[in-house]
Structure 1
Amino acid sequence: MRKNTADKILASALALMTERGYNNVSVKEIALTAGVSEMTVFRHFDTKMGILHSLIQTYSYIPYFEHFFLHELTGHLKNDLQQIAHSYLTFMEKNKPIFLIAIQDRSILPELIDIISDNNTRQLQNLLASYFQKLIELGHMKKEIDTKGQAIVFLTGLFGFFVSNAIWENHFLKDQQENFVQDTVEVFMKGVQA
């Protein structure tokens, strides 16, 4: 299957920006790597920031999680949390290049962290908090818990695991994902289960 022009531009931009950061890559280099003219890049994306915005939208996990929370969760807290954790970590690994670009250029483009956070993290937090609210109503979770707060607690632990592995190539947690997810879910459940 042939890649269309926009996909070639995005793939080239992602590879270059992951390696060198957003600010250290020119549109000219992106065009050269993609095998297109600079004008073609601008016709598709208007600006270099437009390319980055498209990458963030392309790699967003929110459409998947919206479907997942609506159709895949069973109400069985342990199984659901394990599925959520594994899915989150899988998507974060897929999105590692975007994360690394954001980390490399955080001082130059502080709004990049906000874009990523608004597009993904806050929306996922809200989905998880709504799920927790349903479980409270079903009597599966304690009534007094702060659903948004607990969503933050759960996601922050997973994010910390991902960051540790993303930043340090041979981190001691590298081969511990299954144990980490099981232990995280067990500890979390002890605090919230009714």
Structure 2
Amino acid sequence: MKRQTQKIKEQSVNSDLDKYTNKELAESFVFPSKKSAKQTEEEKEFWEKRRTAFENRSSAKKIYSRLLQLKYQIEDYIKSDDYDERTTFGYFLKEYIHILDKKNNQFASEIDITPTELSQIINSHRKPKENIIIRLEIHSNENIPAITWYRLLEKEKEHEIITDKIMRKSEKAHVKRIAEFSL
């Protein structure tokens, strides 16, 4: 039944489109751009100035824009339903350090942790404690809030809980009675 309805709709659309030439169809969807030579030249100059200004930004502005980009990347990832094993807390921390053009030892010193601990966090061998997350917020001058870093960890934990079948199986032995209803 659904297929028949689908075919009828397609036939109706096709018969409506057959009334028009290809040129008429294209013009109805694509807005023609008729620029004068002067407008074209002005647009070219505008983009040239824009490119020059972009290339001549100070290093502080470049870092700021890259940090802002990282912040939005993290927020988009947190909001998405998808989980990517490569985009861990450590991945984003490594990007943060790279944007600041720091060595791991130097960065570890700046947030008062050992280089070994930083390496373990970056490589997902250890989860950062709350005090480290707060230090990251302070280090970024509150541009990347602690809650944003924390939500990255929560996303990882959520995925771990959903996918850990071994833990479910072992914990099931500790439940004496399962509810008789299902939602």
Q: Which TM class, normalised by the smaller chain length?
A: under 0.3
More helix by share: 1
Q: TM-score, normalised by structure 1?
A: 0.26
Q: Which has the larger radius of gyration?
A: 2
